[in-house]
Structure 1
Amino acid sequence: MNLTSFTDYGLRMLMRMASAPDQAFSTADLAEEFELSRNHLTKIMQRLAQGGIVETRRGVNGGAVLRSTPAEVRLGDVVRLLEQGQALVECFGPTGGGCTIEGCCRLKSRLRQAEARFIEDLNRSTLADIALPQHATA
């Protein structure tokens, strides 16, 4: 199984945010910390906001904050949100991928079960379990 960089970067951002859940984080600061594209992180932050994981605020004290405590954010739910629209295999896609064995394939149901178990297993962990160490303040 291979998660997209979109999900990888989203999890990294949330891990940092979980280290200081009351602090607002700008995408510029997160991009600098992780040496990633600010534009890419902005798109990820938008998806997290649409999914109800974070709340974004504009202005001088703006940035993104977690909408729930880190202990309430389940990792499987985050991965499901961020991987939305990404088919595990081609035949799971909206068009079915032009599969020639569609009618007799016994693999598809097993892969769906495995994908569901993967999310279920991740949901046994929360953002609190993977929070990065809090930065020391000078």
Structure 2
Amino acid sequence: MRLTNYTDYSLRVLMYLAIKKDGELSTILEIAESYNISKNHLMKIIHQLGQLGYIETIRGRNGGIKLAKHPKDINIGEVVSKTEEDFHIVNCFKEGGNYCAISPACKLKHALNEALQAFLNVLYGYTLEELVTNKNELNLLFRLSQN
């Protein structure tokens, strides 16, 4: 199982915002530079995270972005499920996917589906708060002021 960069960056944005002081705003440029990722790609992610209710965007000269929820209320499995385009591990998972000669008797698809569900269940067991319990260390890595 491999997550897309889109989901990876979505999780990174949420982690970055979670280590900021309560109410402190961040900018897309600040986050993009911190992770060395594309500002344009990040703009799409920020837009979707806002639509999903995970972040709040404040427009204007002193605007920026911040978490819209407390980190303990943001479930990682939910974020992954909402930001991943699909979970088609193999082509036969896709509706109308390529027909395989052994499809009628194949047990591989069932095993892979079971593995996918186990993967997601583990992620549903974590909140954003649990991923940033090392705030001081993360702040040092980002060169942010200590909370």
User: d(CA) in 1 for partners of 2:89 and 2:48?
Assistant: 20
Output the amino acid matched with 1:93.
Answer: K
CA 1:87–1:38 in structure 2 vs 1: closer, same or farther (change >3 Å)?
A: same
Cα distance change of structure 1 residues 47 and 98 upon mapping to structure 2, 3 Å threshold: farther
CA distance in 2 between partners of 1:100 and 1:50 (Å)? 42
Q: Which amino acid aligns with 1:63?
A: G
The equivalent residue for 2:103 is 102
1:65 correspondence with 2:66: yes
Q: Determine the C-alpha separation between the residues in 2 that align with 1:95 and 1:56.
A: 39
Cα deviation, residue 86, structure 1: 4.7
Residue 16 of structure 1 corresponds to 16
- The farther-off stretch of 37-46 and 47-56 is 47-56
Bigger mean CA offset, 64-73 vs 45-54: 45-54
Match of 1:6 in 2: 6
Equivalent position amino acid for 2:53 in 1: G
**1:55 aligns to what?**
56
User: How far 1:100 moved relative to its partner?
Assistant: 3.6
TM-score by length of 2: 0.80
The 5-angstrom pairing of residues 99-138 of structure 1 reads: 99-131=100-132, 132=135, 133-134=138-139, 135-136=144-145
Using the TM superposition, give the Cα deviation of residue 125 of structure 1 relative to its aligned residue in structure 2, in angstroms. Answer: 1.3
Tell me how far 1:102 sits from its aligned partner: 2.7
Are positions 1:80 and 2:81 aligned together? yes
Runs of 4+ in 1 over 4 A off after TM superposition: none
**Is 1:34 equivalent to 2:43 in the alignment?**
no
CA distance in 1, matches of 2:126, 2:85: 20
Structure 1 residue runs of 5 or longer lacking an equivalent are none
- AA partner of residue 88 (structure 1): I
Deviation at 1:117, TM superposition (A): 1.7
Distance in 2, matches of 1:86 and 1:64, equals 29
Alpha-carbon shift at residue 15 of structure 1 (Å): 0.8
Cα distance change on mapping 1:94 and 1:56 into 2, 3 Å: farther
User: Which amino acid in 1 is paired with 2:48?
Assistant: R
Larger Rg: 2
- Indicate the SS of the match to 1:97: coil
TM-score for both structures, normalised by structure 1:
0.85
